[in-house]
Amino acid sequence: MEHLHSFRRGMNLGGWLSQYPKPDKHHFDTFITKKDIQTIAGWGFDHIRLPVDYPIIEHDDRPGTYLDEGLSYIDRCFEWCEESGLAVVLDLHHAPGFTFNHALKDETRHLNTLFTDEKDQQRFIHLWKFLLNRYHTASTPVIFELLNEVVLPESGPWNVLAKRAVEELRKESKSAKILIGGNHNNAASELKNLEVLPDPNVLYGFHFYDPLLFTHQKAPWVEASVDYQATLAWNGPFSGLEAFLNQHPKHASAFRHLTGRTIDKELLHECMQPAFDFLLSHQRPLYCGEFGVIDIVASSCRNDWHAETIRLFNQYDIGWAVWTYKELDFGIVDYDGKVRDPNLLDILCTI
C-alpha cells in the first residue's frame, strides 16, 4: 500500500480562511502569518491542512469570477509552506450550496442545495478545476480535499458528485492527489459507504472526535453536549449517561452504546475500528484530517486522549492533522501565538 509521504504529521489552520468571525482584511492579514508557518515547521510538522470557505474567492452574485485578493492569501500560504518545507492539504470547508454548519440546524438545512441543484454542482466542479489548475504544480506536495464533513441522510448523492468531480478533474491532471471523506461529518463509521474509485491518486479520509461526549463536552454548538453537561475524565465513566438518555431519548440512538463504558484506549480503538477495516479491505492510504479535544477538558485528560489517538494512527500508518493551530476552542496556541499547553505540543511532535 502506498503511504502518504509528506502528510504524516500535520496542523490545521482553522479560523483563518474558514470559520472566520467576519470577512475582514485585518483578520486575514494577521491571524496566520509567515511566522506561524515557520513555527509549525520548526516544531517538526510536515504539512498543514488549509480550510478555505468559498466566499473568500467567489461571490454568489458573480459565480465563476474569482477574487484576486482572496486567492492571494492562499497563494501566500503556499509560498510560505514551500519556503518552510511543508506540504499542503487544500480543503474546501464551505462550498457553494453546502456547509456542515447548515446541516446542524433544522432552520438552515434547506440552504444545503449542493446535492440536488445542478447549477451548484457545476459551480462546485468549476471552482475545483480552477483551484487544481492553479495549485497542482506547486513546488510542495499538495492534496486537494473536495469537501469538508458531508452531512446527508445517506451517502449516495455524495458518491455520485465526488465521482463526477474526480472525472472532471482528471481532464486537468491525471496525477493530482484528490481526497474524499465520508458522510456524517466524515465519520470513520461512514468509510464503508464511500465508493472507492479505481484511481490510485484518489485518497480517502475521516475525522476523529470520538467519543463525542468527551471530546466536545459542554460545547455550545453540540446539542447533546449542551443537554448532557457532564464533566468527563480520561479512564473515567460516562457519568449519569443512562439517566440522561432516558430523559432525552432523542440522543439515545447516538449514545446508548456508551452506557457503562469507560473512556479509555480500548474505546478509542473500537471507535476507530471502521477505519482499520477500510484499510484492510481496500489497501488504500487513509488520512485523518481533523481530531482533537475541546480546551475546557482537564489538560491531563486531553493529553492522554491525544496520545492514545496518535499511537493508533501510527500503528495503522494513518497520516493526520490535528485541529487546530490557533483559537477555536481547540487551539494549540492562543490568539497571540503563545503555546497553551507545552505538554500537548510535545505529544503532537514526538509520539
The amino acid occupying position 164 is: R
Q: Nearest CA to 323 among 333, 331, 311?
A: 331
Angle between helices 118-135 and 68-84 in degrees, nearest 10? 40
Q: Say if CB 4 and CB 316 are below 8 A apart.
A: no
Is residue 131 situated within a structural domain?
yes
User: In the prediction, which pLDDT does 267 show?
Assistant: 98
> Residue 216: CB partners within 8 Å, gap ≥ 6?
209, 222, 225, 294
Rounded to whole angstroms, how far apart are CA atoms 235 and 150? 31
User: In the prediction, which pLDDT does 132 show?
Assistant: 98
The CA-CA-CA angle for residues 217, 319, 191, to 5°, reads: 70
Rounded to whole angstroms, how far apart are CA atoms 317 and 44? 18
User: In the prediction, which pLDDT does 55 show?
Assistant: 97
Three cell numbers, residue 189: 463509521
Residues of the chain where predicted confidence (pLDDT) is lower than 70: 1-3, 102-110
Phi, then psi, of 92 in degrees rounded to 5:
-80, 100
User: In the prediction, which pLDDT does 144 show?
Assistant: 98
User: In the prediction, which pLDDT does 4 show?
Assistant: 81
Rounded to whole angstroms, how far apart are CA atoms 300 and 298? 6
Q: What is the pTM of this model?
A: 0.97
Is residue 111 situated within a structural domain?
yes
Is residue 199 situated within a structural domain?
yes
User: In the prediction, which pLDDT does 74 show?
Assistant: 98
Q: Nearest CA to 143 among 321, 326, 351?
A: 321
Q: Say if CB 51 and CB 14 are below 8 A apart.
A: yes
- State which residues form the domain around 52: 9-219+264-350
Rounded to whole angstroms, how far apart are CA atoms 123 and 120? 5
Strands (E), the chain: 9-12, 47-53, 87-94, 142-145, 177-181, 202-208, 286-291, 319-322
The CA-CA-CA angle for residues 317, 323, 328, to 5°, reads: 175
Is residue 88 situated within a structural domain?
yes
Q: Say if CB 115 and CB 161 are below 8 A apart.
A: yes
Residue keyed to cell 506536495: 141
Three cell numbers, residue 328: 477555536
Burial 73-111 (b: 16+ CB within 10 A, else e): bbebbbebbeebebbbbbbbbbbbbbbbbbbeeeeeeee
CATH code of the domain in which 285 resides: 3.20.20.80
Is residue 287 situated within a structural domain?
yes
The CA-CA-CA angle for residues 91, 97, 102, to 5°, reads: 85
Is residue 254 situated within a structural domain?
no
Quote the distance between the C-alpha of residue 56 and its chain's center: 18
Is residue 46 situated within a structural domain?
yes
Per-residue 3-state assignment (H helix, E strand, C coil) for 166-193: HHHHCCCCCCCEEEEECHHHHEHHHHHH
User: In the prediction, which pLDDT does 110 show?
Assistant: 67
Three cell numbers, residue 118: 445542478
Domain tally for the chain?
1
Three cell numbers, residue 186: 466524515
Residue keyed to cell 467519543: 211
User: In the prediction, which pLDDT does 109 show?
Assistant: 65
| Catalytic residue set | 149, 290
Is residue 238 situated within a structural domain?
no
H or E element in which residue 293 lies: none
Per-residue 3-state assignment (H helix, E strand, C coil) for 248-280: CHHHHHHHHHHCCCECCHHHHHHHHHHHHHHHH
Which residues pair with residue 49 across a beta bridge?
A: 12, 89
User: In the prediction, which pLDDT does 295 show?
Assistant: 97
